[in-house]
Amino acid sequence: MALIVHKYGGTSMGSTERIRNVAKRVAKWARAGHRMVVVPSAMSGETNRLLGLAKELAPAKPTTPYNRELDMLASTGEQASSALLAIALQSEGVQAVSYTGWQMGVQTDSSYTKARIERIDDERVRADLDAGRVVVVTGFQGVDELGNITTLGRGGSDTSAVAIAAAMKADECLIYTDVDGVYTTDPRVEPDARRLAKISFEEMLEMASLGSKVLQIRSVEFAGKYRVPLRVLSSFTPWDIDINEEAVSGTLITFEEDETMEQAVVSGIAFSRDEAKISVLGVPDKPGIAYHILGAVADANIEVDVIIQNLSKDGKTDFSFTVNRAEFARTVDLLKTKVLPTLGAADIVGDTKICKVSIVGIGMRSHVGVASKMFRVLSEEGINIQMISTSEIKTSVVIDEKYMELAVRALHKAFDLDQPAN
């Protein structure tokens, strides 16, 4: 008898009809003899709707009291969908009970809107499973030491599911979504994208961190740390397909590079519109400058991604970096008020109309010329590269946002990702 965690995303939970389908699918797994824990997201659009209401009343402010209330608010979306799923399961004749993050004991830190799970107390759930119940646990939320409700960042239900699977030593965590697996790139941008039967954990981690929102990055980190068997698959197949067929469908995240792994040099392309570029111009070129600028940004708890410093001319240089687009205004304001006056820099310019496109593949470790091929392909399309960043298994470029789809498609083709793997 296996212990299985299912996670269903917002679109999969998007209407009562879809919730009934989820219930029928879960009931099928329970009747096959599995112990089932199910983690649903809020119904699609609900989290945005709730956060939109808050913004109508008061524009987003990065203050703790404001963010605390956002979590109190946004967490209700998952509470509603969990109860609805438990009701649907009961109407399928399955004993089911739903719990919120705090009832279940999902302990997090207190960083509202992006809390991290620290501990999960699974005693209550185990007792229910022993009594033959299906347990539904809200995704996306937890509770801090003082009993405040927290949320785990957008897309955080993936992380709830994988963390619960890790804590309970589940046999497998199945992430059901609106595509039938992990593709070579987002199939909504490149219709020729191919589903990967397997992807290595390291590649999945890069893809998620570089913008492929099919899995939240923290869920992949959890899966790696605790070796949780993880699969991404479709919730849109007929609920009554053969369970053995369903169990091997989609994309498996693998932890070992086995013989059968697709040996492409580049496995996937990720992209993100979430960034903005900031340049500090006319900075005196002397030791401590990077620290002076980025130290202030880090102290304000703003994450910096790609960084470049230009060659200096006449003792002055330009220093550019990217931050999350949501942090753009705050970063510019901080630099203008705190850094410019003490630095003697000339000016700050920003650009929010950029994007980051990345190629990812463990094959890049052992192949040279992959990055240069990427640059050539982009130049052939007339796309100007503004910034570059590389690591062992990825190369990212920052380009004008209007060329994002063109860049993704050109790279997808140039690296033969539209061709079946041999």
Binding residues for ATP: 7-10, 177-178, 183, 188, 213-214
Do residues 332 and 305 lie in contact, with contact meaning Cβ atoms separated by under 8 Å? Answer: no
Choosing from 41, 107, 251, 317, the residue that interacts with ligand ASP (CB under 6 A) is: 41
Write the interaction track for ligand ASP spanning residues 44-73; mark x where CB under 6 A is met and - where it is not.
Answer: ---x--------------------------
Residue 8 in contact with ligand ASP, rule: CB under 6 A: no
Residue 177 in contact with ligand ADP, rule: CB under 6 A: yes
Binding residues with ligand ADP: total (CB under 6 A): 19
Choosing from 4, 5, 6, 11, the residue that interacts with ligand ADP (CB under 6 A) is: 11
Residue 40 in contact with ligand ASP, rule: CB under 6 A: no
Phi, psi of 363 (to 5 degrees): -65, -20
Identity of the residue numbered 328: F
Sheet of 347-351, strands arranged across: 304-309, 316-324, 275-284, 347-351
Residue 157 in contact with ligand ASP, rule: CB under 6 A: yes
Q: Which stretch binds Mg ion (CB under 5 A): 3-11, 16-24, 233-241, 305-313?
A: 3-11
Residue 156 binds: one of ligand ASP, ligand ADP, Mg ion, none (C-beta under 5 to 8 A by kind): ligand ASP
What is the CB neighbour count within 10 angstroms for residue 116?
17
Residue 200 in contact with ligand ADP, rule: CB under 6 A: no
d(C-alpha 417, C-alpha 262), whole Å: 11
Q: Which stretch binds ligand ASP (CB under 6 A): 124-132, 156-164, 187-195, 315-323?
A: 156-164
Choosing from 10, 40, 77, 101, the residue that interacts with ligand ADP (CB under 6 A) is: 10
CA distances, 213 to each of 87, 91, 209, 271 (Å): 29, 33, 8, 10
Looking at the Cβ atoms of 9 and 250, the one nearer to ligand ASP is 9
Residue 178 in contact with ligand ADP, rule: CB under 6 A: yes
Residue 254 in contact with ligand ASP, rule: CB under 6 A: no
**Residues 8-47 close enough to bind Mg ion by CB under 5 A:** 9
d(C-alpha 277, C-alpha 325), whole Å: 8
Do residues 24 and 194 lie in contact, with contact meaning Cβ atoms separated by under 8 Å? Answer: no
DSSP code of 413? H
User: In which residue are the tokens 């519109």 written?
Assistant: 273
CA distances, 369 to each of 24, 251, 373, 376 (Å): 50, 29, 6, 10
